[in-house]
A and B are shown apart, each in its own frame.
Chain A
Amino acid sequence: MSDVVERTLTALPSLLSSDPSPGRPSSTSKLGTLIRGITELTSKHDEEKLIQRELVSIKEQVSSPNTTMRQMKELMVRAVYCEMLGYEASFSYIHAIKLAQQGTALDKRVGYLAVSLFLNESHELLLLLVNTVLKDLQSTNLIEVCMALTVVGQVFPKDMIPAILPMVEEKLNHPKEIIRRKAVLALYKFYLIAPNQVQHIHSKFRKALCDKDPGVMSASLHIYLEMVTEKPEGYKDLVVSFVTILKQVVGGKLPIDFNYHSVPAPWLQIQLLRILSLLGKNDRSTSEMMYEVLDESLRRAEMNHNITYAILFECVKTIYTIHPKAELLEKAAKCIGNFVLSPKINLKYLGLKALTYVVQQDANLALQHQMTIIECLDHSDLIIKRETLELLFRITNGQNVKVIVEKLLEFLRHSKDDYVTIDLGGKVTELAEKYPSEMI
C-alpha cells in the first residue's frame, strides 16, 4: 500500500504544475482541474453545484462557432466525465457526433468514443453517425477505418444495417488482419441485433474460420457460438474443423504471442469447448470425435494458475454435457473433487457449482464429498452457503428432505436480499409439494 502512496506522491507535482508536458495538448489540464476540484469537495451538494457550473460552461463553449476541434475534444472528455458521475449532459451528444465527423485522428477517436458512451442503439441521433461511418470506412487511412469498425461493432442502428453491410463485407478480404478481425466482429454485432440481415454471408464466416490469423479466426468463433446455440444440427460438419483447431491450440502450435501466462490462447480454448459441448450433446457419433482432444486438454491444463482452472472447469462441463465416456467422466469427477476440496474460496464455489450441474447424472459424487458440503453450509461467505443449499436442493430425497428444508428455512430467516428470498422460498414450496408426508 505504501508503494502506491509513494508513487502517487511523486506523480503529484507534475500533475499539479500548470505547464503541460511537451507534445501533450494543454487542454488535459482543464479536465485535471475539474477532477481535482471535485475531489477537494466533501459534500454531494457542493459537487452538484460545481458540476452544474461546469456543464453550463461546457454548453456555452460547444455552441460557440469559434471552438476548434481540439477544444471540442477536450470538452467532450469533460462531458463524458460528468455523465459518468451521474449528471445529465445530453446537449453534448450532437457535438460528439460532429466531432467524429469533422475531427481527425485523436479528435475523431474521442468523438467516436463519446458517441459510443453517450448513445445506445435506439437513440435517434445515431442515424446521423451513419454517414460519418460510411465515409471513414472508405478512408485510405487504416486507423480511421479501424475506428469506424470499432464503433460499428458497439452501437449501430438496426435499420441502417443494409446501408453499411456491403462495405463491411468487403473488409473481410482486407490484407490487414486487424481490419478483417474488426469486420468479423461488426458482423457478429449485426447478427445479434438483426440475424436475418446476415443470413446470406455464412460462407464468408467459414472463410474467416479458416483465416491464417488466429485473431480473425477466434473472432469468427463468437458468431459460430451463437449460430450453433440456435441450431446445432446445421453445423455438425464443422466438428472436425473445431476439433482440429483445438488440437492445434492445445498442442502449442499458435504463435507464442497468444500465450497468456504460458497457457496457449485460453479464451479461444474456452470458446471451442463451448461450441463442442453444444454440438456433442445427445449425439454419440459427434461426441466420439471429441474424446481425444478433451482428454488432451484435461491433461495439459494441470498447472496451478487461475486460467488453467478456468479451462478445466469448462472441460468438465463439456464432458458432462456430451455423450458420456467412462474414463473422461472419471477424470472430470476427480477434477471437481479437487475444486471442492481446495482452500481457495473461488475454486470451492466453482466446485460446488460443478457438483450441482453433474449431480443429476452422478449422485455418487456428491456423496463422496458430503463432509465438505456440510462444512460449506456453515461457511461465513453467504454466496458459498447459498450455492451449497442449491446443491442440497438437487440431492433431496425422502430421507434427507426434512433436514434440508430446515436449513433452507434458516437461511431464509436471515436473508435480506429479495431475489434470494423469492428463489429459495420457491424451492421450499416445491419440496413441500413433492414430499408432503415428510414435511409433517
Chain B
Amino acid sequence: MRFMLLFSRQGKLRLQKWYVPLGDQEKRRLGRELVQTILGRKAKMCSFLEWRDLKVVYKRYASLYFCCAIEEQDNELITLEVIHRYVELLDKYFGSVCELDIIFNFEKAYFILDEFLLGGEAQETSKKSVLKAIEQADQLQENIDFQMRLFPAPS
C-alpha cells in the first residue's frame, strides 16, 4: 500500500499514513487533490479509481471516507476488505466507534493501524491478537499511572 487517508465529508483530514517516502509539500498536494476528486464522486459509483498513476480504493462509513492508494498489482477487492477490517478493529476497541472517537483519540487509531498494517502490508493476524497487543500496552500505561498516583514524584 502506498498510503491511507481518512477524511470527513468536508474534506478535513482525520488521519494520514504514508508508506512511501514523499516530501511534505508533495504529500499535502496529493492529499488535497485526491480528497477533492473523491468527494466529487456520487454515491452509486465504483469504489475503485484510477487517478493519475495510482490505483485508489475508497469507502465511506457514516461521515468518514477511508481511502487507500495501492500498487499496480494489488487486488482492489481485498483492499476494500482491509478497510473494512480496520473499521471493525476500531469498532471493537472504542465500542461502537463514531467519527468523534477517531478525532479525539487519533493517536490510538494510529496504534491500531500500525498493529494491523505494518509497512503497508495487511497482517493476517486474528482480530483478537491485534486488539490484545493494544490492550497490553494500554494496561502497562494504566499500571504506571496507578503507581504514580500512589507515589507521586517529588516536585
Contact = CB atoms under 8 A, between A and B. Distances in A.
Interface in A15-34: 15, 23, 25, 28, 31-32
A298 interface: no
Given A109-B111, A306-B81, A345-B44, 12 more contacts: A8-B99, A85-B13, A105-B144, A117-B110, A150-B114, A182-B118, A185-B121, A266-B78, A267-B78, A267-B82, A267-B124, A310-B75
A268 B137 contact: no
Interface of A: 1, 4, 7-8, 11, 15, 23, 25, 28, 31-32, 35, 77, 80-81, 84-86, 88, 104-106, 109-110, 113, 116-117, 120-122, 141, 143, 146-147, 150, 153-154, 178, 181-182, 185, 188-189, 192, 214-215, 218-219, 222, 255, 257-258, 260, 265-268, 270, 274, 306-307, 309-310, 313-314, 345-346, 349-350, 380-381, 383-384, 386, 419
Contact of A419 (B53, B81, B118, B144): B53
B96 A7 contact: yes
B150 interface: no
Contacts of B17: 117
Given A313-B75, A346-B46, A255 B126 contact: yes
A215 B123 contact: yes
A258 B104 contact: no
A373 B17 CA distance: 37
Contacts of A380: 45
A265 B124 contact: yes
Contacts of A121: 21
A393 B31 CA distance: 32
B136 A143 contact: yes
Given A143-B137, A154-B118, A219 B13 contact: no
What is the predominant secondary structure among interface residues of chain A facing chain B? helix
Contacts of A4: 62-63, 98-99
B92 interface: no
Contacts of A154: 19, 114, 118-119
Contacts of A386: 50
A81 B17 CA distance: 13
A106 B98 contact: no
Contacts of A88: 24
Given A4-B98, A120-B21, A215 B129 contact: yes
B48 to A, nearest CB: 6
Nearest to B140: A105
Contacts of A219: 123
